[in-house]
Amino acid sequence: MRNTGLVIDDRFQLHDPGAGHPDSPQRLAALARLFDADPFRALPRVRPREAAEAELARVHSASHVAAVAASAGRAMTRFDADTGASAGSFLAARLAAGAAIEIADAILEGSLDNGFAALRPPGHHAEPDHPMGFCLFNNVAVVARHLRARGVERVLVLDWDVHHGNGTHHTFYADPEVMYVSLHQYPFYPGTGAAVEIGSGAGQGYTVNVPLAAGTGGDTYLAAMRDVVLPTALRFDPRFVLVSAGFDAHRDDPLAQLALESEDYAELTSAMVEIADACADGRILLLLEGGYDLAALSESVRVSVERLREPKAAGLGTAEAGAGARDAARALAPYWKI
């Protein structure tokens, strides 16, 4: 049994993007109930702290940070049609980014083996210079840059949210030390993430996009993980594994049209643990992104945390990986043997 740490905090619920918004504070309330029940109530908790401006500045422009800071204390600030901030959102967003750093440090230093951070607001759509897509600061990008600043040579960011993480993609597009891998519904919001988008300059081959058609189920999704993600990631040989863990590819989620079951997230977690065990001394951290059906979210998080605590061999099946995986493999062929 591994020493899996958790992050969750009532202050993340201070972020309220408006009545009827999918990213409701109730998402965190549902996970709080899960983590307060056996067996998760006994797991170690990492207390959030606010990210420092210098930590945010590794990813975001000063004008971006200032724009989010200006929302503090105001009833509602709109950054785009989907993305708003309430009076407490700036605090919640700084706490989310700081919490990601704190639990990553605990894993890096060995007081935890791995972890799951239930954060709000989410982060992977936040661009270096503006909030976007429910996201204010890019939590996974902030922690990846923090790990690099601490001397971690290669960081893998795997994004299994149903939406392409455009902000993370753009942050690391020319960076050969952070590999960004995304499996996502395509074409779909935000419009980025085609298989041919593989990085630029020194970063060519270090961005991996696996586009999946609406209606794709778990067998095809897991086969894409087997045939593209695992071999590429193992050759990259990361020293720390981060997962932008959105759970909105679930068949019950209201915002998209992929068809994963909760148990598929257990297999995805197992596959990522296998990469972490092979390359990074088991160091892996899952950071919450999307997931808007509360029952599906809770069950998918439950099985994911269980696989962090007690790893099992990933069951990725024998199905065909599908056109998106084939397109990704062709685009990456000059850079990786897969």
What would the pLDDT profile of 88-136 be if each residue is shown by its tens digit? Answer: 999 999 999 999 999 999 999 999 999 999 999 999 999 999 999 999 9
Span 284-307, average pLDDT: 98
Residues ≥6 apart with Cβ < 8 Å to 13: 25, 28, 29, 92, 120
The catalytic residue positions are 125
How many percent of the chain have pLDDT more than 90? 99
Beta bridge partners of 260: 250
Q: What is the pLDDT of residues 172-195, one digit of tens each?
A: 999 999 999 999 999 999 999 999
pLDDT band at 338 (very low <50, low <70, confident <90, very high): confident
Task: Give the whole-angstrom CA distance, residue 272 versus residue 282.
Answer: 10
Q: What percent of the chain has pLDDT over 70?
A: 100
- Which of the following CATH numbers is that of domain 4-332: 2.60.120.380, 3.40.800.20, 3.90.79.10, 3.90.1150.10? 3.40.800.20
pLDDT in tens, 223-261: 999 999 999 999 999 999 999 999 999 999 999 999 999
Q: pLDDT at position 282, please?
A: 98
Joined tokens for residue 300: 């998918």
Kindly give, in sequence order, each residue whose CB lies less than 8 Å from that of residue 259, ignoring residues fewer than 6 positions away: 215, 216, 217, 218, 251
Mean pLDDT of 56-75: 98
Q: What mean pLDDT do residues 218-222 have?
A: 98
Please write the tens of the pLDDT for every residue from 50-59: 999 999 999 9
Q: Answer whether residue 41 shows pLDDT above 90.
A: yes
Residue 52 has what DSSP assignment?
P
Cα 278 from Cα 165, distance rounded (Å): 25
pLDDT band of residue 198 (cuts 50, 70, 90) is: very high
What's residue 289's pLDDT?
98
The backbone region for 215, taken as left when phi is positive above 0, alpha when psi lies in -120 to 50, beta otherwise, is left
Residue pLDDT, tens place only, 145-161: 999 999 999 999 999 99
